[in-house]
A and B are shown apart, each in its own frame.
Chain A
Amino acid sequence: MQQFVDQLIQQGYFAGLPKEVVYAVAMVLAALVVLSVFVAPLAGVTSWLERRVWARMQSRVGPNRVGPQGILQWIADGIKNLLKEDIIPTAADKVLFPLAPYIVFVGFLCAFVVIPFGGSLIVADLNIGILYLLAVTSIVVVGILMAGWSSNNKWSLLGGMRSAAQIVSYEIPAGLAVLTIVFVAGTMSTQGIIQAQGWAPWDWFLFYSPFTFVAFFLYFTAALAEGNRTPFDIPEAESELVAGYVTEYSGMRFLFFFFAEWGNLYVIGAVATILFLGGWQAPPIPWVTDQPVLKGILQFVVFFIKAYLWVFVSMWVRATLPRVRVDQLMALCWKYMVPLSFVCVIGTAGWMVVWPHGNRWASIAMFIIGVIVLGVFGKRVGFQIRHSRPTLYLKPYI
């Protein structure tokens, strides 16, 4: 984006203004555009989609009345929450209680700086891109702890503490899995990692070696844990602790936490796509990729689909799995995921020593194994559909 602004200055648009002011204004405008055009509708539509997907997996229909197929449900929810009374408990900390949702929100929003939307559509291509992303998503821990403590409620405190322990522990497997890819790509910049991959599936880092394959699942599980999603949603959606650290929040503040959670799903998907699935690399279709505008649109669409697929997978996982207990969560992290991620890092380093430019045959073999696994899964789904018949229709009008 910096080159774009520099071009505009050179063309004489902002004569008379110092460069820093132009940059500052451009940054604020970029943040506004990203937030209002992309993030806000995305988080809203994700919440609608989650409710619909959940409902269909539970043999029922989700919200389908507000707007066509209920797609405006999130706007209705937002308006409703804005109109609600903003309750602040008398004994809550006056400064920290209102501030906590904003810190969580800022922590998640800063991640959008380094997520590319297309070939050259990125807010800032930092050359420590991925490291910056991991660092900035940890700010949410501060926000959650603030929310839990300042509510002056024992349940919230328990929820906040658990969440802090969870997020901090799962940083490690996530970071190590990312490190595996940084080894292979040779750079931490997000655009650089994408450019080191190709558009074909066997050129993706997912199938680069068995170690990166395992690293992908480790990263995805750790990212789910960081985002407080089932099966790791102990802090928030308990049946025991009412709502964990968000218990005392009402109205728009309550919605901010969930806004951040749904938006975070997209960040998880986007990072998984950047690191493992080839990012915006699109196949070279003859008459599309010649023109820059169409190419940009194609790359944007490819990236969005790949990232949103993982959003769908996290909703799917949430509908399927029960929740793990706090001590089991810690055991899973420290006894299973951390050693496995170390194995992945060392294994990848070893792989790169043996085959410095990667082993194409191994990648193709891994890809074929992946396709076979998907095929087995599809057959199993077909078995489920045939085995227990669909819902029984005894009443005449169903």
Chain B
Amino acid sequence: MKALAAYVRNIFETVTTIFEGMSITLSHLVRRPMTVQYPDRIDKPVQETLPLRYRGILEVDMDICTGCLACERVCPITCITIGIDMNKETKQRSFSHFDIDICKCMYCGLCAEICPTGSIRHSQEFEGACYNPAGLVRHFVTKPVSLYKPKKGGETDPTMAKKAEIGQKYLDEFATPEGPGGAGAGEG
């Protein structure tokens, strides 16, 4: 008798749980799907929706780079190569090359954190695929650029001020020991 009860209970449980499962999948059939049909059927490009902290491909603003080589030293995988020349007559130092191998880059953010002006930072770009590995080395020095000297008391030139502001805004995202770091942080 117990065996018959177990038999009937098995059948009953099977039917009811299958019933429940099928109602769930049917309910999903009429809901909106979660897929984002990138890249052609979306409202605005994905890059515009990513937060400022997003660690995409590295970019360098050479105009505010001071040439301190901190990023090259801190990179755990040595993907940044910087060369600085000294012009003997004018005693001016300028960059000869600033290469980042985005193939090796770990996207860890250590170089961006340590930069004093925020010139090297992660952009929102993530579409870096190309057909040959040589294209994966980004060269940021196209013409000789002299090193940037940050002026005391703020920057007077408006274009340079804007660049310095963008760099500083990026650096504010990181947490600092001084106080509440990050935009708008301070409350739980």
Q: Indicate if the CB atoms of A320 and B31 lie closer than 8 Å.
A: no
Q: In the assembled complex, which residues on chain A have CB atoms less than 8 Å from the CB atom of B23?
A: 377, 380-381, 384
Residue in contact with A395 in the complex, picked from B18, B37, B49, CB distance below 8 Å: B49
Q: Which residue of A lies closest to B24 (CB)?
A: A384
Q: In the assembled complex, which residues on chain A have CB atoms less than 8 Å from the CB atom of B29?
A: 53, 56-57
Considering only CB atoms and an 8 Å cut-off, how many residues of chain B contact the other chain?
28
Residue in contact with B25 in the complex, picked from A319, A336, A390, CB distance below 8 Å: A319
Assess whether B20 is interfacial by the CB under 8 Å rule: yes
Q: In the assembled complex, which residues on chain A have CB atoms less than 8 Å from the CB atom of B46?
A: 397
Residues of A347-398 contacting chain B, CB below 8 A: 377, 380-382, 384-385, 390-391, 395-398
Considering only CB atoms and an 8 Å cut-off, how many residues of chain A contact the other chain?
26
Q: Which 5 A-B pairs have the closest CB atoms?
A: A384-B27, A380-B23, A57-B25, A61-B35, A320-B21
Q: Indicate if the CB atoms of A59 and B34 lie closer than 8 Å.
A: yes
Q: Indicate if the CB atoms of A58 and B49 lie closer than 8 Å.
A: no
Q: Indicate if the CB atoms of B27 and A385 lie closer than 8 Å.
A: yes
Q: A384-B23, A397-B42 are in contact. Are A57 and B36 (CB under 8 A)?
A: no
Q: In the assembled complex, which residues on chain A have CB atoms less than 8 Å from the CB atom of B19?
A: 377, 380
Chain A contacts to B: CB under 8 angstroms: 53, 55-61, 316-317, 319-321, 336, 377, 380-382, 384-385, 390-391, 395-398
Q: In the assembled complex, which residues on chain A have CB atoms less than 8 Å from the CB atom of B10?
A: 336
Q: How far does the alpha carbon of A321 sit from the alpha carbon of B30 in the complex, in Å?
A: 19
Q: In the assembled complex, which residues on chain A have CB atoms less than 8 Å from the CB atom of B30?
A: 385
Q: Indicate if the CB atoms of A397 and B43 lie closer than 8 Å.
A: yes
Q: Indicate if the CB atoms of A61 and B18 lie closer than 8 Å.
A: no
Q: Which residue of A lies closest to B42 (CB)?
A: A397
Q: In the assembled complex, which residues on chain A have CB atoms less than 8 Å from the CB atom of B44?
A: 397
Q: How far does the alpha carbon of A319 sit from the alpha carbon of B22 in the complex, in Å?
A: 9
Q: How far does the alpha carbon of A396 sit from the alpha carbon of B20 in the complex, in Å?
A: 33
Q: How far does the alpha carbon of A261 sit from the alpha carbon of B112 in the complex, in Å?
A: 56
